[in-house]
Amino acid sequence: MPRLGSQRGFTLIELLVSMAIGSIISLTAVGLIVTTRNSGNRINEQIHIDQTARVAMENLMRNLHSACVVPEKPPVQSGSTESTLRFISATGQEAAVTPVLHEVLFTASKEELKEKLYETNTGSTYGEWTFKTSPATERQLATGIQAITEKQGATERHVPVFRYYEYYQENTSTHVNPHPGELETEYLAASGSGLNTELAENVSKVTVAFRAAPIAAGHQPEPKATVLEDTALYRLTPTSVEESASPEPCA
């Protein structure tokens, strides 16, 4: 009679150990897949935010460089603040020009740049335009926008997204040895209700600066972010020492 082979199977302990090892391997594989997917999504999000922020800056600067609509007509409007930029711009030639009032808003809590466009009122005259109170267009320019931070000693402070500069003003200059035709080194204070009419009429340079990045876990800014900064200077002819101490914008 032939001898039967061994019919010994797995013990309960061996089965449990095998199941535990299998579970660990499966969980590790799932974790790697999830981590890789999240990393890919993060990279894609950063690329999208970076691209939209660059396009927003490019379009904004193009409009700012078209803000000298009429010689000696101030482009920056009263009410502009460190987070709201109000200016007029237009393209075209002389009387055919129809300007638009831009209101660009940075909202820190929403991390977005938004723009409102206002058309001229019917009957506005050339060079003395007035604008409607309701925007004709309202659009989101970019998301993931944050103010740049810089260190001052042991503390950090936010750099205003919009900064406004004027030419040297006699008796109030921040220069040590000021010369006519120089821009002030300190930007105009534009907090609260913003620039009044007198200050707005003197603005000859606007600097726009922000960082673009998605928010990391715990609502902390990403350590790696795109920092964008650009400037529009409102001057049609070069300044010289023979000019007045405070040249006019768009002159």
Task: Give Rg (Cα) of the chain.
Answer: 29
227 Cα distance to chain centroid = 9
- What pLDDT is attached to residue 44? 67
Q: Which long-range contacts (CB under 8 A, 24 or more apart) does 103-110 make?
A: 103/135, 104/60, 104/141, 104/162, 106/145, 106/147, 106/161, 106/162, 106/210, 107/83, 108/83, 108/146, 108/147, 110/143
What's the rounded Cα separation, in Å, for the pair 211 and 224?
10
Nearest to 245 by CA among 195, 172, 190, 176: 172
91 touches 205 (CB < 8 A): no
- What is the reported pLDDT for 71? 82
Q: What is the pLDDT of residue 205?
A: 93
b/e for 79-95, b at 16 or more Cβ within 10 A?
A: bbbbbbbbbbbbeeeee
Q: How far apart are CA 144 and CA 146, in angstroms?
A: 6
Domains of the chain, residue spans: 39-233
pLDDT score for 49: 82
Contact 87, 61 (CB under 8 A): no
Amino acid occupying residue 33: I
Distance of CA 118 to the CA centre of its chain: 21
CA–CA distances in Å: residue 236 to residues 51, 68, 85, 178: 31, 8, 21, 22
219 HSE (CA, 13 A, CB side): 4
* Whole-structure pTM value: 0.76
| CA angle, residues 77, 79, 136, in degrees to nearest 5 | 70
H/E element, 56: helix 12-64
Write out the E strands in the chain.
Answer: 84-89, 100-107, 112-118, 137-143, 145-146, 149-152, 155-158, 162-166, 203-212, 215-216, 220-221, 226-233
235 and 251 Cβ atoms separated by less than 8 Å = yes
- Sequential pLDDT tens for the chain (251 residues): 555 555 566 677 777 777 788 788 877 877 777 666 655 556 666 777 888 899 999 999 999 998 988 887 889 999 999 999 999 998 766 556 788 999 999 999 999 999 999 999 888 788 788 999 999 999 999 988 999 988 777 788 889 999 999 887 665 555 455 566 778 888 888 777 889 988 898 899 999 999 988 765 444 555 567 899 999 998 766 655 445 556 778 87
d(CA 79, CA 163): 13
| pLDDT for 217 | 45
User: Which pLDDT score, from 0 to 100, does residue 228 have?
Assistant: 92
Listed residue (218, 217, 225, 160) closest to 190, CA to CA: 160
